[in-house]
């Protein structure tokens, strides 16, 4: 690890003292410009506007400035400047996150990795790709698809989201039921720590000696450092994919079908559920001729031909046994893509049937799907709101979309309350408050409901090992941030305190 030149907390504090207090924003901008070039530091309020939020558009907060480093060395320079000036850093990929993970905090600098978008190396002998964090998820697959390979994690935003953001959020997607999440596909990473040190974690060869720090990095939502290179595992495209679309009278039967398929020993590549409202929305957006039914499933099986055909037939038979109304098998790849387009567009499509909506992301044990959906329906009716459900049924990852109209007084608040109640249902069912969107700024408060104080304090210790200064993406994940390695002595405001995201007592 490149400890040379790293700045301790004490040194940082004394540097600030010598300068007579924290430097002004203009001074910080000037120092950052010396690192990345003037063109890559944004301070103009109009230019900052787009950085006030990520995919979660409420709770907008203006950053002090935005800096766009172009290399690992420049990221190191940026971190040193920020550390010395006591400026919190908010790393940002493509800004598509849905939990406010890239939401600025007051007085922060947003570090956009958008300029670091080179694919550094494709090694199909070993099945590895080394990329910069700003590379778009789907571009990795595009770069190797011609040779029959792909990158497995496929969040719905894969056409626009970045690998760096995927690493931060441990992104999943429809096909992680079989193939796992980002954490199962990251082999190595280069990370800039808050002390300006650069560390190489992982392999890419298997089982590097020492702690599995990649496990701590992936899914840490930018709290442990800034990733500047990632080595990804690539997979060969499965030989065959078989898809079917099945409709059901209600989510009860669709849930029973999912359970029956899993109980038969089948591991689908993906199995997605939509309820009546979601189907209606998808139809409105895509013009698909889906029937007006209570629920639908879309399932992929993939792998070697004989296994897949067998599994696909079994799954269809099971769906019929539990009451499927209709089974549609796409005639060709184009029709298959259209079915998936209907599923993937369902989120945005809800905008066609409601002026506004909240996207929730919670996980429940798969066997609880039907019961929990009924409970959500009851709660929604009680709140006078509609909820559309379109989700990854195979792993119980719900995405309830709470529909509301902000023009009606009090409706937005009722929607937010309902969203929170849904998360509590997930926790009570033994599940999780997030399956793939992350905790971010949005759900930090709910962490204290899913985890106990000792659990959170232990996780904070892990964070402290990486970022003792607490300048990396403060205010995210943890409901009450802990300051690391406190020693008795005169009081000095901590960067996180100045940013208003942590308090000392």
Among positions 42-71, residues that touch another protein (CB under 8 A) are: none
3-state helix, strand, coil split of the chain in percent (to 5) is: 40, 20, 40
What is the rounded CA–CA span in Å between residue 152 and residue 174?
10
Minimum distance of another protein from residue 234's CB (angstroms): 12
Binding residue for another protein, selected from 10, 58, 60, 305, defined by CB under 8 A: 305
Cis peptide before 204 (omega within 30 of 0): yes
Helix (H, G, I), strand (E, B) or coil at 186: strand
What is the rounded CA–CA span in Å between residue 377 and residue 367?
17
In 3D space, the residue among 215, 108, 124, 200 whose CA is nearest the CA of residue 167 turns out to be: 215
In 3D space, the residue among 445, 454, 385 whose CA is nearest the CA of residue 418 turns out to be: 385
Q: Should residue 211 be labelled a site residue for another protein when binding is judged by CB under 8 A? A: yes
Q: Which two tokens stand for residue 323?
A: 């009451």
Binding residue for another protein, selected from 263, 348, 381, 406, defined by CB under 8 A: 263
Q: Should residue 466 be labelled a site residue for another protein when binding is judged by CB under 8 A? A: yes
Q: Which two tokens stand for residue 245?
A: 């679309």
Stretch that binds another protein, among 17-25, 37-45, 65-73, 121-129 (CB under 8 A): 121-129
Minimum distance of another protein from residue 173's CB (angstroms): 10
Q: Which of residues 378-407 bind another protein (CB under 8 A)?
A: 392, 395-397
Minimum distance of another protein from residue 386's CB (angstroms): 25
Minimum distance of another protein from residue 504's CB (angstroms): 19
Binding residue for another protein, selected from 218, 277, 496, 501, defined by CB under 8 A: 218
What is the rounded CA–CA span in Å between residue 65 and residue 96?
19
Binding residue for another protein, selected from 83, 432, 441, 475, defined by CB under 8 A: 432
Closer by beta carbon to another protein, 355 or else 430: 430
What is the rounded CA–CA span in Å between residue 214 and residue 203?
10
Q: Should residue 201 be labelled a site residue for another protein when binding is judged by CB under 8 A? A: yes
Q: Which of residues 437-456 bind another protein (CB under 8 A)?
A: 437-439, 443, 447, 450-452, 454-456
Binding residue for another protein, selected from 15, 16, 48, 208, defined by CB under 8 A: 208
Q: Should residue 121 be labelled a site residue for another protein when binding is judged by CB under 8 A? A: yes
Query: Residue 486 CB: number of other CB atoms within 10 A?
Result: 9
Q: Which CA distances in Å does 134 have to 72, 162, 348, 393, 471?
A: 12, 5, 24, 30, 21
Binding residue for another protein, selected from 23, 104, 196, 219, defined by CB under 8 A: 219
């Amino acid at each position: 690890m490149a400890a040379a030149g790293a700045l301790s907390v004490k040194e940082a504090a004394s540097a600030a003292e010598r300068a007579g207090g924290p430097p002004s924003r203009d001074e910080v901008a000037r120092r950052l410009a010396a690192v990345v070039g003037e063109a890559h530091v944004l301070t103009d309020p109009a230019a900052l506007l787009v950085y006030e939020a990520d995919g979660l558009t409420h709770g907008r907060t203006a950053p002090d400035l935005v800096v766009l480093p172009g290399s690992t060395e420049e990221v190191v320079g940026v971190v040193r400047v920020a550390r010395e000036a006591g400026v919190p850093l908010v790393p940002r990929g493509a800004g598509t996150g849905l939990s406010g993970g890239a939401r600025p905090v007051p007085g922060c600098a947003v570090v956009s990795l958008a300029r670091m978008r080179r694919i550094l190396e494709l090694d199909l002998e070993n099945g590895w790709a080394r990329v910069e964090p700003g590379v778009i998820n789907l571009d990795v697959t595009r770069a190797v698809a011609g040779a029959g390979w792909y990158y497995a994690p496929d969040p719905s935003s894969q056409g626009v989201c970045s690998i760096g953001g995927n690493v931060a959020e441990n992104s999943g997607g429809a096909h992680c039921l079989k193939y796992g999440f980002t954490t199962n596909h990251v082999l190595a990473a280069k990370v800039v720590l808050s002390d300006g040190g650069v560390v190489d974690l992982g392999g890419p060869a298997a089982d590097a000696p020492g702690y599995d720090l990649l496990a701590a990095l992936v899914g840490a939502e930018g709290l442990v450092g800034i990733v500047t290179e990632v080595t990804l595992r690539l997979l060969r495209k499965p030989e065959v994919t078989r898809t079917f679309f099945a409709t059901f009278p209600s989510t009860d039967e669709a849930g029973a079908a999912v359970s029956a398929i899993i109980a038969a020993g089948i591991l689908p590549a993906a199995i997605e559920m939509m309820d009546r409202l979601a189907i209606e929305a998808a139809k409105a957006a895509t013009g698909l001729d889906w029937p007006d039914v209570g629920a639908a499933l879309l399932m992929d099986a993939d792998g070697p031909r004989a296994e897949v055909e067998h599994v696909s037939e079994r799954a269809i038979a099971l769906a019929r046994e539990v009451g499927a109304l209709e089974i549609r098998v796409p005639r060709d790849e184009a029709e298959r893509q259209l079915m998936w387009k209907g599923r993937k567009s369902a989120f945005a499509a809800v905008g066609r049937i409601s002026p506004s909506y909240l996207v929730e992301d919670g996980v429940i044990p798969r066997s609880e799907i039907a019961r929990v959906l009924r409970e959500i329906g009851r709660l929604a009716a009680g709140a006078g709101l509609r909820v559309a459900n379109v989700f990854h049924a195979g792993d119980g990852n719900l995405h309830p979309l709470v529909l509301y109209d902000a023009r009606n007084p009090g409706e937005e608040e009722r929607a937010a309350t309902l969203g929170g109640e849904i998360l509590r249902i997930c926790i009570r069912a033994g599940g999780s408050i997030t399956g793939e969107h992350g905790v971010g700024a949005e759900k930090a408060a709910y962490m204290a409901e899913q985890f106990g104080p000792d659990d959170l304090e232990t996780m904070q210790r892990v964070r402290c090992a990486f970022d003792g200064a607490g300048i990396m993406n403060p205010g995210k994940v943890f409901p009450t941030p802990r300051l690391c390695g406190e020693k008795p002595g005169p009081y000095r405001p901590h960067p996180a305190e100045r940013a208003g995201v942590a308090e000392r007592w």
